[in-house]
Amino acid sequence: MVVTEDTRISELIKENKESIEAIASIAKPLEKLKNPILRKLMASRVTLSEAAKIGNCTIGDFKGVLIPLGFTFLNSDLIDKPTEERNPDWLNNLSREQIVVFDVRAILASGQDPLKQIIKRFEKIPMGNALCIVNSFVPIPLVRLLEKEGVKSFTKTIDKNEFHTFFFKVPPKESINQNAESTVGEKLRMLDQDSFYLEYNKFPLSKIREIDVRHLEMPGPMQTILEILPKLDNDEALYINHKRVPLYLLEELAEDNFCVNILNLSDKDVKLLIYRIS
């Protein structure tokens, strides 16, 4: 099989299942591929170049483990050379005042999840402006999650430990999803305690299914939740006790008719209330 930087990980796995262990051996973030559920979510979405950014490695690292498995790289003599990252037109047309920069590296270093702050900041961004997330890796699940809601994104590599990911709130006339802004707010909501339990109290106790997945190791929490949600009646809600904000789950549910309400009480105490949108 001939491979380029745009080849998806799922194509490599389909061609040769040994590529799972090979790619997972390159860097710790790529070990997620060993997990069947995370592999299902990640492999079909991520290209080789995106995987390199996730793993903070190079295409050359992939060549080293994939060529022995019979893969051939197109333009092999050029593929390790850095490629010029050209800004999209929408980014070039933005002034500095139209871009809000949010560096989340210190938040992550403290062991906290910055998702709540990212979503809240993005919701406050006016149409036609952008939020720039500064991180030590590319937040691929977040990129996929927002792109499904009509948000444009672009990641610029500053160096091997710094990436700037821009999220552009597309004006309505350009948006594929005309309700991109309201949809993000309707389907994914990071709430305070009062607002969360206001949503909770809309359902009688007999219509709330409660589960606790905090004791489960991955992929147990996601697997448990995904098994229950299809069986959820239109007038029911699933109340989940979790120990983290499940970003991969949010990405998986982005195209489904579910509203996900999140209450982040602490680093290891997160509540979710999920119900169908009629």
**What pLDDT, in 10s, does the model give residues 147-173?**
877 789 998 888 777 889 999 998 765
Cβ atoms of 255 and 245 closer than 8 Å: no
Distance CA 58, CA 8 (A): 15
Two tokens at 50? 């995106």
As beta bridge partners, residue 135 has: 163
Q: When comparing pLDDT for 226 and 188, which is higher?
A: 226
Q: Topology of 191-276 in CATH?
A: Translation Initiation Factor IF3 (3.30.110)
- Residue 55 has a CB neighbour count (10 Å cut-off) of 21
- Calculate mean pLDDT across residues 24-44: 79
Q: What is the largest CA-CA distance in the chain?
A: 64
* 3-state secondary structure (DSSP) of residue 159: strand
Cis before 246 (ω within 30): no
Q: Please state, rounded to an integer, the average pLDDT across all residues of the chain.
A: 83
Distance CA 150, CA 222 (A): 25
Two tokens at 152? 């444009």
- Calculate mean pLDDT across residues 38-45: 73
- Calculate mean pLDDT across residues 38-47: 75
Banded model confidence at residue 181, pLDDT cuts 50, 70, 90: very low
Two tokens at 13? 């796995």
Helix (H) or strand (E) holding 145: helix 140-147
**How wide is the angle at C-alpha 46 spanned by C-alphas 263 and 151, nearest 5°?**
55
Q: Which residues contact 62 (CB under 8 A, 6 or more apart)?
A: 3, 23, 26, 48, 51, 52
Cβ atoms of 163 and 135 closer than 8 Å: yes
Q: When comparing pLDDT for 252 and 228, which is higher?
A: 228
Helix axes 140-147, 115-124, angle to 10 degrees: 40
Distance CA 85, CA 113 (A): 28
pLDDT of residue 187 exceeding 50: yes
Q: Which pLDDT score, from 0 to 100, does residue 206 have?
A: 95
Helix (H) or strand (E) holding 231: none
Two tokens at 102? 């949010």
Q: When comparing pLDDT for 241 and 75, which is higher?
A: 241
- Calculate mean pLDDT across residues 97-118: 87
Banded model confidence at residue 75, pLDDT cuts 50, 70, 90: low
pLDDT digits (tens, 9 = 90+) for 189-240: 888 899 999 999 999 999 999 999 999 887 788 889 988 999 999 999 999 9
As beta bridge partners, residue 231 has: none
Closest CA to 100 of 76, 64, 130: 130
Q: Which pLDDT score, from 0 to 100, does residue 235 have?
A: 94
Q: Which pLDDT score, from 0 to 100, does residue 175 have?
A: 46
Mode of pairing for the β-strands spanning 130-135 and 99-103: parallel
Residue percentage of the chain with pLDDT more than 90: 37
**How wide is the angle at C-alpha 106 spanned by C-alphas 103 and 112, nearest 5°?**
110
For the ranges 134-143, 148-157, 170-179, 263-272, the lowest mean pLDDT is seen at 170-179
Helix boundaries (H) for 74-139: 89-92, 105-109, 115-124
Cβ atoms of 69 and 101 closer than 8 Å: no
